[in-house]
């Protein structure tokens, strides 16, 4: 089968590799689509953070080279022994976290903080940027009727946004300022709208602002037009925001978030910064706001799948599909250069 094999930063090859089989407790999936994530760009253009490069992962024993891809969805084609409730032919989304299930965090249910956490597509060897992938049966979420394979492939990044939104602790009628209109920022917008929260998007890119408007955002701010604080107050009628979600992960964004959040509000950081993230500490004292970080997701897939079923997550205007051979040029490079917002790869093309 064809697969995207990661060797080191700047080196990915589309190769023929052996087709895997499902072992006991496992499920084999024919991949329909696998999304490219900002974390993939970090691994390719920056340095290996998630892929075990030069060492073996403590939980899986895997090291580079690995098959990339952690935002996968497809059809079940083989069910290993001992697996119940999953059948061949079902459309599924894959939750890529592989947890030890024995550490203190796993025992408390916070498996996204597992001390030995591995990620399918980074540290499990065979990810979703391949024609077929094999995962543990507990990583599979069966899609309800009416959901397409493209929608299923977006469940993983939308779960990242949903987890951040839950940490924001917003209520119906609240204003929530979302910094960044990439996939996670748009996911937070979709989730906030479904919760009857009033989302306000702040985005520097004209292309992304246009995409946000196309998917229904009517409160979109360009920081270049003046004070973000003043623009937020104009939209809200003079009120500060109950919460802010930083899906950009840059210093200027964080300071703006601390300026527009209300007293005792919350600022949730979900955008992973490339380096140190300084902030103006005095802004925290002005509002006694809570500053929290959001890591991946934990039991969030079912909520997102239900939202997809209801139509909360439209695809038009921000999602593009490509074939495997276009991975770097029309995938990685297009995302890095801002020409695309979300790219799904079809391994069969």
Using one digit for the tens of pLDDT, what is the confidence trace for 86-144? 999 999 999 999 999 999 999 999 999 999 999 999 999 899 999 999 999 999 999 99
Residues 24 and 130 in one domain: yes
Residues 244 and 137 in one domain: no
pLDDT at site 349:
84
Residues 9 and 149 in one domain: yes
Residues 97 and 167 in one domain: no
- The average pLDDT across 285-314 equals 97
- pTM score > 0.95 for this model? yes
Residues 26 and 141 in one domain: yes
Residues 132 and 26 in one domain: yes
Residues 150 and 162 in one domain: no
Of 311, 317, 324, 304, nearest to 153 by C-alpha is 304
Mean pLDDT is lowest, of 28-32, 233-237, 278-282, for: 278-282
pLDDT at position 290 over 80: yes
Grade residue 176 by pLDDT with cuts at 50, 70 and 90. very high
- CA 233 to chain CA mean position, Å: 30
Pairing of strands 342-346, 26-35: antiparallel
Would 45 be classed as within a structural domain?
yes
Tell me the average pLDDT of the chain: 96
Cα 266 from Cα 268, distance rounded (Å):
6
Would 31 be classed as within a structural domain?
yes
Would 301 be classed as within a structural domain?
no
Which CATH number characterizes residue 95's domain?
Answer: 3.90.180.10
Q: State the number of CA atoms in the 13 A half-sphere of 213 facing the CB.
A: 10
pLDDT at site 278:
85
Q: What is the largest CA-CA distance in the chain?
A: 61
Would 299 be classed as within a structural domain?
no
pLDDT at position 241 over 80: yes
pLDDT at position 306 over 90: yes
pLDDT at site 77:
98
Residues 79 and 167 in one domain: no
Grade residue 155 by pLDDT with cuts at 50, 70 and 90. very high
Residues 34 and 145 in one domain: yes
Those residues with Cβ within 8 angstroms of residue 311's Cβ, 6 or more apart along the chain or in another chain: none
Q: Give the total number of structural domains in the chain.
A: 2
Would 104 be classed as within a structural domain?
yes
Task: Write out the residue range of the structural domain in which residue 165 sits.
Answer: 158-293
């Amino acid at each position: 089968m064809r697969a995207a094999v990661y060797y080191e930063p700047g080196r990915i090859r589309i190769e023929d590799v052996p087709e895997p089989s499902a072992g006991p407790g496992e499920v084999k999936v024919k991949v329909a689509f696998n999304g490219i994530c900002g974390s993939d760009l970090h691994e390719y253009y920056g340095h290996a953070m998630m892929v075990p490069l030069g060492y073996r992962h403590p939980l899986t024993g895997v090291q580079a080279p690995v098959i990339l891809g952690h935002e996968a969805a497809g059809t079940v084609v083989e069910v290993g022994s001992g697996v119940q409730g999953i059948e061949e032919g079902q459309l599924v989304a894959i939750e890529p976290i592989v947890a030890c299930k024995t550490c203190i965090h796993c025992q408390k249910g916070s498996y996204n903080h597992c001390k030995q956490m591995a990620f399918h597509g980074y540290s499990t060897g065979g990810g979703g940027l391949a024609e077929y992938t094999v995962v543990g049966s507990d990583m599979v979420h069966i899609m309800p009727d009416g959901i397409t394979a493209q929608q299923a492939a977006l469940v993983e990044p939308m779960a990242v946004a949903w987890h951040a939104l839950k940490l924001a602790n917003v209520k119906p009628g609240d204003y929530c300022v979302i910094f960044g209109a990439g996939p996670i920022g748009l996911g937070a917008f979709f989730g906030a709208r479904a919760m009857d929260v009033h989302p306000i998007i702040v985005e520097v890119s004209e292309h992304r602002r246009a995409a946000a408007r196309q998917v229904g955002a009517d409160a979109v701010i360009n920081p270049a037009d003046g004070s973000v604080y003043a623009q937020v107050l104009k939209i809200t009628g003079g009120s500060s925001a109950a919460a802010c979600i930083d899906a950009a992960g840059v210093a200027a964004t964080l300071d703006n978030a601390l300026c527009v959040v209300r007293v005792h509000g919350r600022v949730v950081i979900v955008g992973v910064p490339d380096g140190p993230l300084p902030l103006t500490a005095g802004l925290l004292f002005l509002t006694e706001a809570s500053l929290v970080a959001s890591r991946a997701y934990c039991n969030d897939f079912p909520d997102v799948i239900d939202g997809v079923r209801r139509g909360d997550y439209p695809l038009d205007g921000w999602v593009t599909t490509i074939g495997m051979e276009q991975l770097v040029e029309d995938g990685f490079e297009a995302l890095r250069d801002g020409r695309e917002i979300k790219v799904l790869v079809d391994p069969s093309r």
